[in-house]
Structure 1
Amino acid sequence: MKKRVVITGLGIVAPNGVGISAFSDAIKKGISGIEFLPELRDLNFSCQLGAAPKIFEEKKREYLTDLQLRNFNSSGILYGVIAGMDALKDAGIKPALPEEEALWDLGIIFGTGISGVDKFREAIHKIDDGNVRRLGSTSVVQTMTSGVSAYLGGLIGAGNMVTANSSACATGTEALLMGYEHIAAGKAKYMLCGSTSDSGPYIWGGFDAMKVTTYKYNDAPNEVAGPMSADASGFVPGSGAGAFVLESLESAQERGATIYAEILGGAINNGGQRNGGSMTAPNSSAIQKCIKDALKVSNTAASEIDYINGHLTATIKDPDEIENWTHALGRKGKDFPYINSLKGMTGHCLSASGSVEIVSAILQLHEGFVFPNVNRENLHPKIASLISSEKISLKMQKTSLQTIVKASFGFGDVNACVIFKKI
């Protein structure tokens, strides 16, 4: 019999708040972490805006030693370590001491898109200059995709499955579902899951070249048209990390742990880059199927969904996403659930987006509020024809949520959808 799975710990490193308290306050107030970055202007980027967490040297040393930080410049691993260790602490689970046995019942699934881009660049220059022996002993672990899970595994002493996944923007949501299945099957007692993304021009440049980022607001970072706006012209690149501790409901109750939400189930699929889907464009049929499959496996009726945390990116695909939700749920107009997108405040955190946004969704479910959709005053007319504008709030609303859904849609036509319920 499958075990019921709950979330008992959260950690967040976001452009508009590091730590649950700061982040929760920021999303309630609609505080944005988007800013003008002179470095991008100097590099001739079309989009000279970005959104990256602020991590000071003192903060780094709360998690890593001076020795570990020597020659360390992987922002994604740093973000993931902070978010992951905070989630573990929030759940009330202590890492194993160096002289103790590994924690055989604790596993990690922590994903990323590209790890250690700055380290890669440094390595290329040193190799080209004939200084390969000066790369340092940590160049491999800082650049391998599983670097973040490996760092966390060592800091915690995790002895169960410790791995990384990588599915573009769907990485974080996929990691949660993979951890959910592991707990539900009784293969681990605790799973630390999440995702992270590096920051800076070497990770953001490709998106600028693709012309999917906005170029219209370089002189007005606080006025960037947000998701679902008729004025949206592309996303702002962002970065960060989100993390969550999963365990069985029975275990959480025995420990007297805080239970943020129950994971009812979810679905992952791929559109096969067919029927309108491509490497960069989603297949609407696959998106709708993913949502419907998530409802089916979680034994949830579409009418039970109170709130949607959308993937919505402030691009031309926003109206299509809304239309897919209306078809998948069979709900339109005033019958449609509340919906919002965090990307108006954090930019698009790429491989970290799913996990950062899941943390925002869980906080809303746990605390009973819906955060505002920033800079969405001019609603896209197609969206306005499909759902009631009162469901796309411009101000934070206190409201009781019981059942919510989060979906992520990523490059490669991959989709992930998960359903949570308040206990």
Structure 2
Amino acid sequence: MTSRIAVTGIGATSALGGTAPENWSNLLAGVSGTHTLEHEWVQTYQLPVTFAAEASVRPEEVLPRHEAKRLDPSTQFALIAAREAWADAGEPEVEPERLGIDWATGIGGVWTLLDAWDTLREKGPRRVMPLTVPMLMPNAGAGNLSLQFGAKAFARTVVSACASSTESLVNACEHLRDGLADVVIAGGAESAIHPITVASFASAQALSRRNDDPEHASRPGSVDRDGFVMGEGGAALVLETEEHAKARGAKIYAYVVGGGVTADSHHITGNDPEGLGAARAVELALASAGISADQVTHINAHATSTPVGDPNEYVALKRVFGERIDEIPVSATKASTGHLLGGTGALEAVYTVLALRDRVAPPTINMTEQDPEVPFKLSGEPQPLGDGPLHAISNSFGFGGHNAVVAFASAD
């Protein structure tokens, strides 16, 4: 089945801005959202990595205090992004039983969990907040969005590491095609820039160590890349059947036309060096979209800036696109935003939608010398995508061997 799903609203909050338009403007301008962390805990725990891409607009600046204190930061970001997307979509009138939530996170309420543990150790059980579990549970984002928007069709949560929110978009597309809802709010959020995660990723040799030059630390495809940069935030897309969107006269940014989800079954953290699972996810996305590899005109790559991950993604995509992979404009936007873990796929989906709308691939900043093992068509400047119908894919690959790819088509 190849029925198209319309994207009618978008919202985003990240290191590049507190709204989707701010994100897009700063992304096109080549802004880096990575900075030195100004927290006492960096020195307290003598962390080997002292920078990250924190959200530029803090949730407490947006949400009322009484609301924010009942939500983990990851859910705060979810609410902010979803509210923006819902307003952007014109607040669709839809029966509660026909409105669904497909949400995602990679880690969930890590701040709530570890703050509660500190409270228990230092002050005893009576001081642990009664809302601790509802705040830390990974499905808190989906549950709170369901409450916020009165969504009764379903409120589902994907936890597939860094593939999470791309998988949530694939699920939303399938749920709409299967007739389970008329409108779905889909996306993901993460707030895991915490001492334990920074220390753990650093111990695993996954993070960049460029403490002296944080703004240029994330270098996807560059020969001197040395790891990813942690980011945070959230992004949401309002998706609805094409018939529903057109019946209410909604503006349509682009269409979700397909998706693919696979597993490597190779290693708990490393992806398959032969790219078999990732390639199959792309092929499934194209097949469900009813398009060929030759019709893809833009790719938002997973491209985390790790020494092993970037070449493996190139190997996977070359399996699908052959020599043409070197001609397709590719964007590696984590260079600007950092890596939002479970929220990153949704943010990059927003960027992909806007790339199709504006017919331009956003730049990949911080390229020094391109690695010959990663010869994607990357550019430090925006790349024009040309005229006519456009198709794009956005890739996400996560710990556990999770692969998720979503395919989009331009609205005109």
TM-score range normalised by the length of the shorter chain: over 0.9
* CA drift at 1:150: 1.3
Tell me the amino acid that sits aligned with residue 378 of structure 2.
I
Deviations 1:42-79 (A, max 9, x none): 42222211011133466333xxx443234x46211111
Cα deviation 1:318-362 (Å, max 9, x = unaligned): 12211221121123475x311111110011111111111111111
Partner of 2:404: 416
> Is residue 2:5 matched to residue 1:5?
yes
Q: Does the CA contact (< 8 Å) of 2:59 and 2:68 recur in 1?
A: no
- SS in structure 2 at match of 1:33: coil
Contact 2:218 2:334 in 1 (8 A): no
Determine the structure 1 residue equivalent to 2:62. Answer: 60
Choose which of 169, 179, 201 in structure 2 pairs with 1:207: 201
SS in 2 for 1:330: helix
Q: Whole-Å Cα distance in 2 between the matches of residues 332 and 119 of structure 1? A: 47
Q: Distance between the aligned counterparts of 2:17 and 2:80, measured in 1?
A: 13
8 Å Cα contact 1:111/1:175 also seen in 2: yes
Q: Is the CA contact (8 Å cut-off) linking 1:47 and 1:236 kept in structure 2?
A: no
**2:177 corresponds to 1:181:** no
For residue 270 of structure 2, the aligned residue among 269, 274, 281 is 281
Query: Which amino acid is 2:239 matched to?
Result: L
Partner of 2:74: 76
Give the SS at the match of 1:383.
coil
Cα distance, 1:199 vs structure 2: 3.3
Aligned residue number for residue 99 of structure 1: none
2:112–2:132 Cα contact (<8 Å) kept: yes
Unaligned segments of structure 1, at least 5 residues: 97-101
Do residues 400 (structure 1) and 386 (structure 2) align? yes
Q: Please state how far the C-alpha of 1:38 moved relative to its aligned partner.
A: 4.2
TM-score, normalised to structure 1, is 0.90
Distance (Å, rounded) in 2 between the aligned partners of 1:295 and 1:57: 37
Shift of 1:377: 2.8
1:138 is aligned to 2:140:
no
Letter matched to residue 66 of structure 2: L
Verify: 1:30 aligned to 2:30, yes or no. Answer: yes
* Distance in 1, Cα, partners of 2:144 & 2:293: 40
Q: SS at 2:374's partner residue?
A: helix
How far has the Cα of 1:41 moved from its partner?
A: 4.5
Local SS of the residue matching 1:163: strand
CA distance in 2, matches of 1:408, 1:57: 26
Residue of structure 2 equivalent to 1:17: 17
- Structure 2 counterpart of 1:231, which letter? D
Q: 2:323 aligns with which of 308, 331, 334?
A: 331
Distance 1:81 1:415, change over 3 A: same
Deviation readout 1:254-300 (Å, 9 max, x if unpaired): 11111111111111010112xxxx11111211111111222222221
User: Does the 8 A contact of 1:183 with 1:248 survive in 2?
Assistant: yes
- 1:377·1:394 contact (CA, 8 Å) conserved in 2? no
Partner of 2:353: 362
Residue of structure 2 equivalent to 1:117? 110
2:232 paired with 1:239: yes
The structure-2 alpha-carbon separation of the partners of 1:122 and 1:320, relative to structure 1 and needing over 3 Å to count, comes to: closer
* Separation in structure 2 between the aligned mates of residue 400 and residue 159 of structure 1, nearest angstrom: 41
8 Å CA contact 2:105–2:190 kept in 1: the answer is: yes
* Mapped contact 1:225–1:232 kept (Cα < 8 A): yes
Match among 223, 231, 246 for residue 216 of structure 2: 223
Matched ranges for 1:273-352 at <5 A: 273=266, 278-283=267-272, 284-316=275-307, 317-332=309-324, 336-352=327-343
Unmatched 5+ stretches in structure 2: none
Equivalent pair of 2:218/2:338 in contact (CA under 8 Å): no
The correspondence of residues 371-390 of structure 1 with structure 2, limited to 5 A, is: 371-384=362-375, 387=376
Partner of 1:212, secondary structure, is coil
- Measure the CA separation in 1 of the matches of 2:336 and 2:181: 35
Q: Which amino acid aligns with 2:49?
A: C
Following superposition, the deviation at residue 407 of structure 1 comes to: 1.1
Q: Secondary structure at the match of 1:23?
A: helix
Q: Is the 8 A contact 1:2 1:185 kept in 2?
A: no
Cα distance change on mapping 1:191 and 1:333 into 2, 3 Å: closer
Tell me the secondary structure at the aligned position of residue 306 of structure 2: coil
Q: How many equivalent pairs are there?
A: 403
TM-score (norm 2): 0.93
Preserved CA contact (<8 Å) 2:116 2:129: no
Q: Map Cα deviations across residues 121-154 of structure 1 (whole Å, 9 max, x no partner).
A: 2211232346323223321221011111111111
Shift of 1:174: 0.2
Report the secondary structure of 1:104's partner residue.
helix
Q: 1:5-62 deviations in whole A, cap 9, x for unaligned?
A: 111111101111110111110111011110011433442222211011133466333x
SS for the counterpart of 1:204 is: helix
Amino acid in structure 2 at the alignment position of 1:55: V
What is the RMSD computed on CA atoms of the aligned residues?
Answer: 2.0
Of all paired residues, the percent bearing the same amino acid is 27
Tell me how far apart the structure 2 counterparts of residues 225 and 122 of structure 1 sit (CA, whole Å): 29
Whether the aligned pair in 1 keeps the contact of 2:360 and 2:384 (CA below 8 Å) is yes
CA distance in 2, matches of 1:68, 1:224: 35
